[in-house]
Structure 1
Amino acid sequence: MARPKPETGVKVKTVAENRRARFEYYIEDVVEAGIALTGTEVKSLRIGQASIAESFAEVKDGQMWLINATIQEFSHGNIFNHEPKRPRKLLLHGREIDKMNNAVTRQGMTLIPLSIYFNGTGRAKVELALGKGKKLHDKRETAKERDWQRDKARLLRDRG
């Protein structure tokens, strides 16, 4: 009897998260992408040594690449260790790459990684989003809305 397939998009262990992305950008479309890694990169991810705060994705020669993401060197990697900020290939279908590339070139959007995580089968995945940059007044409005939601929850908790 075949083992049941895990659901797609289920995050078993989140390694790195770009918390600033939702504040800086309007998030339009989110896609789950595989990521091509070496052995020491996977080991570093499993112990949680990664940062995607200043990273982005771009299309080169019909392939999607994750640029400027930092995965620290593995402590026991010796000569087989990897370069921490090397470009990493993202694994997507050609249709998805074309769709995202068209949005970037025609509509001026940006490809932002929201998180790196391990799914139910133990594979490293990147949650990639198409985003449009916010202006300063939009960021103020977002902060004001977040503060109001926090105050409203506090008032309801104290009253109830």
Structure 2
Amino acid sequence: MAKKKRTQNDKNLMAQNRKARHDYRVLQTYEAGIALTGTEIKSIRARRINIKDGFAQIRDGQPTLMNVHISEYAQGNQFNHDPLRNRKLLLHKQEIKRLARETDKKGITLIPLKVYLKKGFAKVLLGVAEGKRDYDKRETIKRRDQEREISRVLKKRR
């Protein structure tokens, strides 16, 4: 079996929350920068980041990324960071106001979908999302299986 070639996007992708689109219905996405220390960006470049349990909140007009684990940098010695510290997100004022309005609604939350590098800077793709119910998840799985079966049948016809 041939090896899949890594595209430019794959090379820059540091972490992805695949479970998010299963558990949430993503309504809108925003790209935000992350304020990091020196050892944190080195750990991210080494792909030592976990965003699975992460979320974002807007407190005092400032968006904050919480519960994202960035492992300590191996060569960081005394200058290492706290792996679970809250990190400031960098967005425009208009975007912050819009996100604050949207997250005030019941059932709407901000979740990190991807962390990637863009021109050497770490960026996070934030999703404005609402939680799915169990029956919504089952319906999504059923629809995906049906589409897969249809494409399999059409492929055989050719």
TM-score, length of structure 1 as denominator length: 0.89
1:2-41 equivalences in 2 (<5 Å): 11=9, 13-41=12-40
Give the count of matched residue pairs: 150
Q: Structure 2: which amino acid aligns with 1:24? A: D
TM-superposition CA deviations, 1:74-124 (whole Å, max 9, x none): 1111000111111000001111111111111134310011000001x1110
- 1:150 alignment partner AA: R
Q: Which of 144, 147, 153 pairs up with 1:146?
A: 144
TM-score, normalization by structure 2: 0.90
What is the alpha-carbon distance in structure 2 between the residues aligned to residue 151 and residue 15 of structure 1? 32
Distance 1:36 1:81 in 2: 15
Aligned mates of 1:106, 1:45 — CA distance in 2: 32
3-state SS of 1:106 partner: coil
- 1:157 & 1:111 partners in 2: Cα distance? 39
1:158, distance to aligned residue in structure 2 (A): 2.5
Match of 1:133 in 2: 131
1:156 CA displacement: 2.1
Post-superposition Cα deviations, 1:113-136, rounded to whole Å, max 9, x if no partner, equal 1000001x1110000010011111
Name the CA distance, whole Å, in 1 between partners of 2:20 and 2:73.
27
Task: Say yes or no: does 1:104 pair with 2:103.
Answer: yes
**Structure 1: gaps of 5 or more residues:** 1-9
1-side partners of 2:116 and 2:49: how far apart? 10
Greater CA drift, 27-36 or 104-113: 104-113
Identical columns (%) = 47
What is the letter of the counterpart of residue 75 of structure 1?
Answer: A
Question: What does the per-residue CA deviation read over 1:38-63, in whole Å, with 9 as the maximum and x for residues that have no partner?
Answer: 11111111111111001000011110
> 2:27, 2:78 → 1: CA distance?
42
Alignment-mate amino acid for residue 104 of structure 1: T
SS in structure 2 of the partner of residue 53 of structure 1: coil
Moved over 6 A (4+): none
**Structure 2 unaligned regions, length at least 5:** 1-7
The amino acid across from 1:53 in the alignment is K
d(CA) in 1 for partners of 2:92, 2:20: 24
Report the Cα distance in structure 2 between the residues aligned to 1:73 and 1:155, rounded to whole angstroms. 49
CA distance in structure 2 between the aligned counterparts of 1:58 and 1:108, rounded to whole angstroms: 13
- Paired with 2:46 and 2:155, the residues of 1 have a C-alpha distance of 38
* Structure 1 counterpart of 2:154: 156
State the alpha-carbon separation in 1 of the partners of residues 43 and 57 from structure 2: 24
SS in 2 for 1:150: helix
